[in-house]
């Protein structure tokens, strides 16, 4: 895959693993300098190591996206490291529910909303001034197919991902004339640690997960990374406020 980018610096949150790691590697492979961020410093440094050993340039900055001061410090760190920010992939997210709505706890609600909604909001709040100051840029937020429809036994998660799409669309409209594009990517089930925690322990669930997708399999992290890079690239210059399902046909049924 080769795409054209007018910017040079990308930030990836949740970059220690899974979709975030694959996307950080993909940005670096296109020649961008990458700031990898996560609460998991070992995994984040591991992503940086992978980028450097492939000849790319990257820096790790630890940040809990639920903390305003840490997110502000992350953006200061991006500017200190590379002088600018062109693309932000707000991808850190969690899923911890195991039951139907009435079985959920207040702690689960606060934790999921904290990372998935407040985290994305705080990141955009501190990224947008940087993008505006240099005349534009692009943001991609990780939503989910659970942001486009129901997700039984994952109701808080579904609500959080619907909220990510609401934040994405609103920010896209607010900054459309300022050359800041804001889109969301909506993966179906992707083979990551999050997927393995939710499905792999039970072979029946894993089979069910594959069958949910008309293509007959779960997705690969590289398939989400490709969509994120497209949404950031100059090829997507007329695309903003969009929620792109990358789902093996799951939402077409």
List contacts with ligand NAD (CB under 6 A).
13-14, 16-20, 38-40, 43, 64-66, 91-95, 115, 119, 142, 144, 187, 189-190, 192-195
Q: Which are the contacts of 197, defined by CB distance < 8 A and separation ≥ 6?
A: none
Give the orientation angle of helix 119-133 with respect to helix 155-174, to 10 degrees. 20
Shortest distance, CB of residue 177 to ligand NAD, whole angstroms? 29
Length of the chain: 253
Least CB distance to ligand NAD at residue 84 (A): 22
In sequence order, the 6+-apart residues with CB closer than 8 A to the CB of 186 are: 143, 144, 145, 147, 148, 161, 165, 243, 244, 245, 246, 247, 251
Residue found by looking up tokens 């670096």 in the block: 28
Min separation Cβ 135 and ligand NAD, Å: 28
Tokens representing 153?
Answer: 């036994």
227, 141 contact by CB (below 8 A): no
Shorter beta-carbon distance to ligand NAD: residue 178 or 197: 197
Between 13 and 155, CB nearer to ligand NAD? 13
Residue whose CB is less far from ligand NAD, 32 or 185: 185
**Min separation Cβ 197 and ligand NAD, Å:** 8
Give the catalytic positions in this structure: 157
For ligand NAD, give the closer residue by CB, 100 or 197: 197
Structure letter (DSSP) for residue 219: B
């Amino acid at each position: 895959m080769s795409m054209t980018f007018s910017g040079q610096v990308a930030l990836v949150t949740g970059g220690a693993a899974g979709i975030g790691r694959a996307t950080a590697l993909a940005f670096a492979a296109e020649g961008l300098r990458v700031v990898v961020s996560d609460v998991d410093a070992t995994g984040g440094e591991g992503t940086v190591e992978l980028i450097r050993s492939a000849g790319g340039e990257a820096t790790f900055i630890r940040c809990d996206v639920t903390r305003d001061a840490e997110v502000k410090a992350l953006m200061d760190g991006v500017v200190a490291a590379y002088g600018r920010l062109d693309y932000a992939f707000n991808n850190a997210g969690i899923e911890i529910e195991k039951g139907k709505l009435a079985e959920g706890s207040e702690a689960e609600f606060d934790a999921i909303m904290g990372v998935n909604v407040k985290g994305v909001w705080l990141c955009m709040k501190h990224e947008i001034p940087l993008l505006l100051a240099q005349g534009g840029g692009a943001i991609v937020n990780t939503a989910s197919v659970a942001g486009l429809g129901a997700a039984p036994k994952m109701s808080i998660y579904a609500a959080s991902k619907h909220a990510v799409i609401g934040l994405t669309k609103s920010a896209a409209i607010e900054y459309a004339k300022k050359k800041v594009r804001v889109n969301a990517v909506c993966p179906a089930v992707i083979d990551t640690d999050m997927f393995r925690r939710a499905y792999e322990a039970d072979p029946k669930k894993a089979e069910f997960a594959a069958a949910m997708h008309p293509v007959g399999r779960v997705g690969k992290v590289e398939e989400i990374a490709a969509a994120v890079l497209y949404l950031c690239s100059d090829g997507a210059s007329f695309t903003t406020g969009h929620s792109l399902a990358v789902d093996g046909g799951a939402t077409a049924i």
